[in-house]
Structure 1
Amino acid sequence: MKKRLLFLLTLLLTGLVFIAACGNDSGTTSETDPEQTDEGEGTSEVPAEPVTLSFYNEDGEEKSFDDPVAQAITEKTGVILDIQYPVGGSDETVPLMIASGDYPDLIFAKGDIGMLIEAGGVIKLDDLIEERGENLKAMYGDQLDRLRNSVSDPSIYATGAYGVFDHKLETSGTFQIQLEVLRELGYPEINTLEEFEDAIETYYEMYPEINGQPTIPLSLQGSDWRWLITVGDRATVAAGHAGDGQWHIDPETGETTYKFVLPEYRDYFKWLNGVNAKGLLDPESFTHTQETYISKLSSGRVLSIADEDWNINDARFALIEDGMEERTFAPLPVTMGEDYVHQGLKDYGFPGGWGIAISSTTEHQDLAFDFLEWMASEESQILRNWGIEGEHYEIVDGERVMFDEIRVRRNTDGNFSKETGVGYYVYPFPQWGSGAVDSNGQGISPNSRDEIINNHLDIENEVLAEYGMELWVDWFPQTEDLSRSQHGQAFNFTIPSGSDIQIIQQRVDDITEQRITQAILANPAEFDGLWDAMIAEVEAAGVEQLNGDMTELTQNIIKLWSGEY
């Protein structure tokens, strides 16, 4: 369906200016610290009566804009958000928007922003930022170029969705293992796939059942778009590569390669094929729904996963609520071997690129911009991260301190953020970042090192102490020991709509997802033949041209971010 829509849109849009696009990342940067400004907390008058702006959020969910933080935002801006989201995970929303010409006032389209730009569905923000965007200019500082669209069109169409000044005190997207497994096995060192496999196999043999149900040594969620996360991206982690989505990028030259053609990925999936052959891989890893996957994790019988924290939070909260804290997971710095360096704490710099855009058809252009401008203010950052003074935190010795009951609920109740609004409106709105400090020198984010330690479960502190650590990130190669990305992360690149990159990548993605799944589940004797056949298919599909085009795009982004436009 989507391919037909894209083809139709390409015909409808013939003659429009071709726009290339840039990418982004959520990472760490230190060039601009927003603490140095307390520019106006809103430079325009608030409407006498609140105005409802429709807001499409590609990562959104059903949510009314009436929690305490939302009400405070409305009071400060005069804006009520009517939040729209893709129903059923549909990826047709933006193409249908363009086909109909019916756009919401504000749009967070992620990678589809390029389609909107090409269709004339969103406005340029450059003049508005220059004339009345004091908070935005102060927040982005010399990183403003990372918001620009492309070398050929260096305009700004969206505010960034990620933090400008981040500091990683937590990691996500790693192999993870139950705390109880580490404790039962005497706190083994687990840094390689071999050690990881040995741990889950040993525990599985000791405890073939947990809570009266069959133990599952390793479960993946490969039945939908999360295949890219728990299957494809974990291969990247194991190979010691940076998190660039479907790509491997040479940090020196910008040369970009479709990652699955590289030998490291063959080695990783051959290992996973062996794990499956041993009966250690959940046989439903490529068929169960997200709901079933979370249910399995919540039962406490899944020993390990290869997933992002945000995808399993519901299971974590369920385990805590059911008194199975020891069945929650610890992140592991696992790679294929000692010669590979885990990139989990890599500094990708401010991502730029994706963010919230203002539609070209809105009747409230100025108000929509003023809303985004206020969201970049210090007042907004504190409100969205901490909540409301007196309700969620108090001031003690000049610093914000969350009430104990709020702090506990924030870390154990999966509905806390949605119900209170605390933390809910940080992403994808303009944000200073987890490493930024306010005008008094206190962190904008409540997640300081001490706060994270205080929020650990007792079992977490017990396990960490056995390993001589305070935080899970202490287990990983540190940021300062890893090179810094000059291009952000390639999965955030906005691919030009209708381009050869978009067409060929979709083709090879379809091939690799299907063939890699088959290879994982095959008899080990058949793996090499299946892999060779897959490589031949992607070569016939044009992967060599794809690599060349992506290399040019990556190098252009590096130029754009350095001000060469």
Structure 2
Amino acid sequence: MFTKKKWLLLIGLSLLLVFAACTSDEDAGTDEVEDEDEPQTEEVDDEEDAEETDDEVAAPEIDTTPITYHYFNAGRGGNDIELNQTRIGAELEELTGVNFRVEHLVGEMNQKIGVMIASGDYPDVIVPDDAIDDLLDAEAFIPLDNLLEEYGPNLLDVYGDYLEMFRMDDGNIYFLPFGPTVNEFVPNPEIDQGAWWIQRAVLKEAGYPEIHTIDEFFELILDYAAENPEIDGMTTIPYTGLTYDWRFFAFSNIPNHLAGYPNDGGVMIDLDTHEASVYADSEHAYNFLKKLNELNANGHLDQEMFVMNYDEYLAKLSSGRVLGFFDYGWQIGNARTALEDAGDPDREFVPIPVVFDGVEYDQYLDPPAFTINRGIGISVNAESPERIIQYWDYLVTEEFQKKVHYGYEGETYEVDENGRFYRTDEQIASLTTSLREELGMWYFDWYWPVLNGSFSDGNAIQSNRQTEIFERGLTDEDREFLDAYGAETFADLFAEPDERIWFPAWSAHIESGSDPDIFEARSEEILKRHYPQIVLEDPDNFDAAWEAFVDDYRELDVDAYEAFFTDVVRYRVDNW
């Protein structure tokens, strides 16, 4: 179950999601999106670009004496760095005098945040991801309202009406979520959210068959595994999954998606009544776990699925011997990049929508959304916080958002006669992760106040959503796959999302120690304990293991939890 204590998806999902969508880093798959994790018509040079536009207002001048702040990112791992070592970071430091020493999460997130809270020793700027409510309850963040009014005119402009969505009950704003949509929303042609991923060789060898149901998916990969028990000298793994730590939602959310619902968290929302209902002990969960139980009994399930950590999971996907799995695109960007670099397109994964037999259509693509319970905040330990705000205010200008998402004109992208941004084949090939890190694109593309939607000239803000770049980035094998299914983009393979103004429901603010918070913590513990047991149980004892789980789960106050989210959704429908 995707709870407050866990997160997807953002970003995502995209991201991995954002009023415009989550996810994530440009290619996070975020990579994110990348991973994830989302762009002008006139060609302009850097000097023209640096001039103020009608929508970008200069903040008041403040002290530009050099200062370095400590920034901690619990949302993703990465190379720690001083941002002035990057090209974009150096330019921002020249304008503001501000530099950031970036630290990424190593180890367990809640433990790391817990130590901060216990000691009161906070980094200056924190992206706490799923632990944001813990820091809010500990009063670790300072209010931003007055700082934004005085030093953040561009921030106020781009966040606009969104500000009231994440204002706390005490009337203050304590953090800025990622990805407010400006101008026109641009859908993602890639899949940075949930999908069933299958090795391209499996589809290719079978003649690119139509796959709609979970039974057809497993039949296809098992047939291929029977013919190919080894891949490159390694034992073939028909199916694996991600179950580690807070990312357990990538496993527990699956029944919800198979039933034709998007990721609203641990509940399904009825489109007509807006009522919320849990699915952890539903027939959908029963049927999915039953299928995995059968796979395990026949030796087709990865035996390390419930014990490997996230890095081990990515390494396994990168090995080329996994045939299929479910996950959110923003979580697997590193593995996909590794497979691309390996140079064997047949071992790369492609996304497809899979549902239960009888489900009319899938809902894997997120509707336009704005996630209001993830973001970046300034801690009580930060000196001169107005300087951080001014730094962010420059960062959200079109000048710097173009550099963050596209790089530098003539080096990492070009502008055609119609003002459209594109990349040459050489630029696409050369824009490696190391180059994106060197320029600063990798560090700034998410987990900061960054934008979604389109620039004032119509180009998509996130370069992976720019049609000209997406099409040129397709390989021959990608085109063969898409042509086989009559699609122009990967998103074309999936059903259009239904309108859900409340989406995602899981972004509701849940106070620590509240009844919904206690329910989620206990529910997570029960699912993590019972689901693996059910899957690994002898098939003859499956129903008994299932009933033991249901008994434990129903000892929780399910009705109150469902009522909480029903109220959240109905409030958003009436007020957003």
Give TM class, smaller chain. Answer: 0.7 to 0.9
Instruction: Return the letter of the residue paired with 2:60.
Output: S
Shift of 1:53: 1.6
Measure the CA separation in 1 of the matches of 2:312 and 2:123. 34
What is the alpha-carbon distance in structure 2 between the residues aligned to residue 515 and residue 347 of structure 1? 32
Given the alignment of the two structures, is residue 327 of structure 1 paired with residue 347 of structure 2, yes or no?
yes
Give the stretch that moved more between structures: 239-248 or 307-316.
307-316
Give runs of aligned pairs for residues 134-145 of structure 1, distance below 5 A.
Answer: 134-145=153-164
Query: Is contact 2:369–2:504 with CA below 8 Å preserved after alignment?
Result: no
Deviation of the 1:178 alpha carbon = 0.9
- Match 2:563 to one of 542, 545, 548: 548
Shift of 1:343: 1.1
Q: Give the Cα–Cα distance (whole angstroms) in 1 for the partners of residues 153 and 359 of structure 2.
A: 47
CA pair 324-233 structure 1, distance change in 2 beyond 3 A: same
- Residue 124 of structure 2 is aligned with which of 84, 98, 105? 105
| SS in structure 2 at match of 1:260 | coil
Q: Distance in 2 between matches of 1:223 and 1:440?
A: 43
**Are the aligned partners of 1:27 and 1:346 in contact in 2 as well (CA < 8 Å)?**
no
In the other structure, the counterpart of 1:309 is 329
- The corresponding residue for 1:452 is 470
1:157 corresponds to 2:174: yes
How far 1:340 moved relative to its partner? 4.2
Q: 1:270 to 1:154 in 2, by over 3 A?
A: farther
Distance 2:380 2:268 in 1: 36
- C-alpha distance in 2, partners of 1:340/1:275? 25
Question: 2:460 is matched by which residue type in structure 1?
Answer: G
> Matches of residues 263-278 of structure 1 in structure 2 within 5 Å?
263-278=283-298
Contact 1:25 1:348 in 2 (8 A): no
- d(CA) in 1 for partners of 2:422, 2:63: 33
CA–CA distance in 1 between the matches of 2:243 and 2:39? Answer: 40
Matched with 2:261 is 241
The one-letter code matched in structure 2 to 1:487 is W
Does residue 1:388 correspond to 2:379, yes or no? Answer: no
- Structure 1 residues 139 and 360: CA distance shift in structure 2, 3 A: same
Of residues 188, 195, 199, the one that matches 2:220 is 199
**What's the counterpart of residue 16 of structure 1?**
none
Contact 1:105 1:364 survives alignment (8 Å): no
Q: 1:92 to 1:292 in 2, by over 3 A?
A: closer
Question: For structure 1, which segment, 538-547 or 506-515, has the greater mean C-alpha deviation from structure 2 after superposition?
Answer: 538-547
Structure 1 residue 329, shift from structure 2 partner: 0.7
> Which residue of the partner structure matches residue 514 of structure 2?
499
AA of the residue aligned to 2:73: N
Shift of 1:350: 2.1
Equivalent position of 1:489 in the other structure: 504
The aligned counterpart of 1:91 is 110
Aligned partners of 1:391, 1:225: CA distance in 2, in Å? 39
**Structure 1 residue 38 displacement after superposition:** 4.1
State the AA in 2 paired with 1:226. R
Deviations 1:461-498 (A, max 9, x none): 1111122222111111023xx2x223232333332012
Cross-structure match for 1:45: 61
1:343 aligns with 2:363: yes
What is the identity, as a one-letter code, of the residue corresponding to 1:311? Q
Q: Distance in 1 between matches of 2:16 and 2:201?
A: 34
Structure 2 residue corresponding to 1:531, chosen from 543, 546, 552: 546
Kept in 1: contact 2:423–2:469 (CA 8 A): no
Instruction: Measure the CA separation in 2 of the matches of 1:131 and 1:414.
Output: 37
Superposition deviation, residue 389 in structure 1: 3.4
The 3-state SS of whatever aligns with 1:318 is helix
Correspondence for 1:13: none
Structure 2 residue aligned with 1:370: 390
Superimposed CA distance per residue, residues 7-59 of structure 1 (whole angstroms, 9 cap, x where no aligned partner)? xxxxxxxxxxxxxxxxx9914449xx999974336413364433212212121
Matching residue within 140, 147, 168 for 1:121: 140
Structure 2 CA distance, aligned partners of 1:158 and 1:78? 22
Q: Which of residues 275, 278, 297 is equivalent to 1:255?
A: 275
Distance in 2 of aligned mates of 1:335 and 1:27: 25
2:110 is paired with a residue whose SS is coil
Contact residue 247 and residue 259 of structure 1 kept, 8 A: yes
Letter in 2 for 1:120: E
Query: Residue 393 of structure 2 aligns to which amino acid in structure 1?
Result: E
Query: Using the alignment, how far apart are the partners of 1:469 and 1:211 within structure 2?
Result: 31
Residues in 1 aligned to 2:115 and 2:309: alpha-carbon distance in whole angstroms:
26
The alignment of Structure 1 onto Structure 2 pairs a total of residues equal to 527
User: Are the counterparts in 1 of residues 80 and 102 from structure 2 also a CA contact under 8 Å?
Assistant: yes
Look up the equivalent residue of 1:453 and give its one-letter code.
Answer: E
The answer (yes or no) to whether the contact 2:421–2:468 under 8 Å persists in 1 is no
Q: 2:200 aligns with which of 170, 179, 194?
A: 179
Q: Output the amino acid matched with 1:429.
A: W
Given the two structures, how large is their TM-score scaled by the length of structure 2? 0.84
| Inter-CA distance 509–253: structure 2 relative to 1 (3 Å threshold) | same
CA-to-aligned-CA distance 1:113-137 (integer Å, 9 cap, x gap)? 3333333221222233344432123
Q: Secondary structure at the match of 1:305?
A: strand
One-letter identity of the residue aligned with 2:506 = F
CA distance in 2, matches of 1:396, 1:175: 36
- 1:210 positional shift: 1.5
- 5+ residue gaps, structure 2, are 6-14, 22-37, 41-51
Deviations 1:270-290 (A, max 9, x none): 222222223221122112333
Q: Which amino acid aligns with 1:537?
A: D
SS of the residue corresponding to residue 197 of structure 2 reads strand
> 2:112, 2:329 → 1: CA distance?
27
Is residue 201–residue 346 contact of structure 2 (8 Å, CA) maintained in 1? yes
Task: Give the aligned partner of residue 476 of structure 1.
Answer: 494
1:222 to 222, 227, 243: 243
Change (3 A) 1:38 1:252: farther
Shift of 1:534: 0.8
* Cα distance in structure 2, aligned partners of 1:544 and 1:454: 51
Query: 1:321 & 1:465 partners in 2: Cα distance?
Result: 23
Distance 1:271 1:343 in 2: 21
CA RMSD in angstroms comes to: 2.8
Pairing 1:169–2:189 present: yes
Compute the TM-score of the two structures, normalised by the length of structure 1. 0.86
Partner of 1:211: 232
Q: Which residue pairs with 1:15 in the alignment?
A: none
Change (3 A) 1:517 1:503: same
CA distance in 2, matches of 1:454, 1:170: 13
CA contact (8 A) 1:27 1:347 kept: no
Q: CA deviation at 1:269?
A: 1.6
Retained in 1: the 8 A contact 2:71–2:125?
yes
- In the alignment, the residues of structure 2 paired with residue 26 and residue 248 of structure 1 have an alpha-carbon distance, to the nearest angstrom, of 18
Matches of 2:424 and 2:366 in 1, distance apart?
33
Q: Confirm or deny: 8 A CA contact 1:97 1:103 kept in the other structure.
A: yes
Q: Deviations over 1:412-437 (max 9, x none)?
A: x444433332243121222221x31x
